[in-house]
Amino acid sequence: MNTIALTGTALNALALPAPAVAGEMARRLWVRRGPARPVADQDRDVHARARVETLHVGEWEVATYAWGDGARPVLLAHGWRSRASWFAPLVRRLLELGYSPVSWDAPGHGATGGRSGTVLDALEIIGLLQSRHGRFSAVVGHSLGALFSVHALREGIDADRLVLVSSVADFETVIAGFAAELRLRPRTVAALRTAIERRYFGGDTTVWTRFSATHDAHTLALPVLLLHDREDPMIPHAQSRRLLAAFGERARLVTTSGLRHNGIRTDPDSLDRITAFVQGAPAPLP
């Protein structure tokens, strides 16, 4: 039996007599990110061209990045175990078109040290970036950053258009993959949920609904472009189908094949679709 399987077995056994202890141990394992992802070699030129500043948010000095002359800002929100430079191919395209990309390294990611943050920390950071850069011509979010983006827009962030790449729809998805990998039983998963609620959200049990990207989706009036690969091993394609249903007629879903979770970022056709949509073109029909 490998280490992952042994860990899951131990947590499942512990959850029977001591669910709170098992839940807290599982939470600590879940939040581990491993070493910070370095800037990829092919992204270094874009990374080096950014104006780098910091925002003081809670316990963090958040690294922020801005390109261009400030006109027509486009917010880019990266995902879990990633960093702002993930968007380098899109940044190049947007700069060529006269847009001004804006991004940040989330707490515990990239050049921003410390522990990982939450959806509430992301909301505060995005609000500060809007205060600095003004209304966004578009918001582009990848993976968990897509969910954070939707929540920020629901909470009053101003933008003209929204692009969601390989998006998380249901907030509970942030623990689903972890639970499946360790083969956690329902009792252990429930203990993990409780530990997360207590540690980050003051015991609020409604967070799994309130922070889902599908929650109150009808309140967002802006056009939405969804892109998701059919073979995405991290965030199931079904998550974007759920978002498509929630957003209704103002949204379109582009389904790719063979790009998995991160390939859309460098795919020329996908970049063409994103930049055309940001410029005001109708979302492509499925």
pLDDT in tens, 227-285: 999 999 999 999 999 999 999 999 999 999 999 999 999 999 999 999 999 999 876 65
C-alpha–C-alpha distance, residues 88 and 167, integer Å? 19
Helix ranges, the chain (H): 3-15, 19-30, 44-49, 88-96, 119-133, 144-154, 173-182, 186-201, 207-210, 237-247, 268-278
pLDDT at 1: 58
C-alpha–C-alpha distance, residues 24 and 107, integer Å? 21
pLDDT, averaged across the chain? 95
240 backbone dihedrals φ, ψ, rounded to 5°: -70, -30
Whether residue 1 is found in the same domain as residue 104: no
Whether residue 115 is found in the same domain as residue 250: yes
Structure tokens at 204: 């609020």
Whether residue 249 is found in the same domain as residue 154: yes
pLDDT at 164: 99
What pLDDT, in 10s, does the model give residues 129-162? 999 999 999 999 999 999 999 999 999 999 999 9
Closest CA to 113 of 66, 64, 63: 63
**Residue 3 pLDDT class (50, 70, 90 cuts):** confident
Whether residue 134 is found in the same domain as residue 254: yes
Tokens 């050049």, located at residue: 111
Q: Strand 60-66 to strand 100-104: parallel, antiparallel, or no bridges (unpaired)? A: antiparallel
Q: Strand 60-66 to strand 138-142: parallel, antiparallel, or no bridges (unpaired)? A: unpaired
Structure tokens at 160: 């003209």
Does the pLDDT at position 4 exceed 70? Answer: yes
Domain annotation covers residue 286: no
Does the pLDDT at position 216 exceed 70? Answer: yes
Q: For the residues 57-85, what does the mean pLDDT come to?
A: 97
Whether residue 121 is found in the same domain as residue 68: yes
Whether residue 144 is found in the same domain as residue 254: yes
Residue 142's H or E segment, with its range, is strand 138-142
Residue 97 half-sphere exposure toward CB, CA atoms < 13 A: 20
Contact 110, 81 (CB under 8 A): no
Residues 6+ apart with CB under 8 A from 8: 181, 182, 183, 184
Whether residue 142 is found in the same domain as residue 265: yes
Domain extent, residue 252, equals 42-170+213-278
Whether residue 248 is found in the same domain as residue 128: yes
Whether residue 147 is found in the same domain as residue 55: yes
Give the global pTM: 0.95
Domain count, the chain: 2
The angle at the Cα of 144, spanning 219 to 182, to the nearest 5 degrees, equals 130
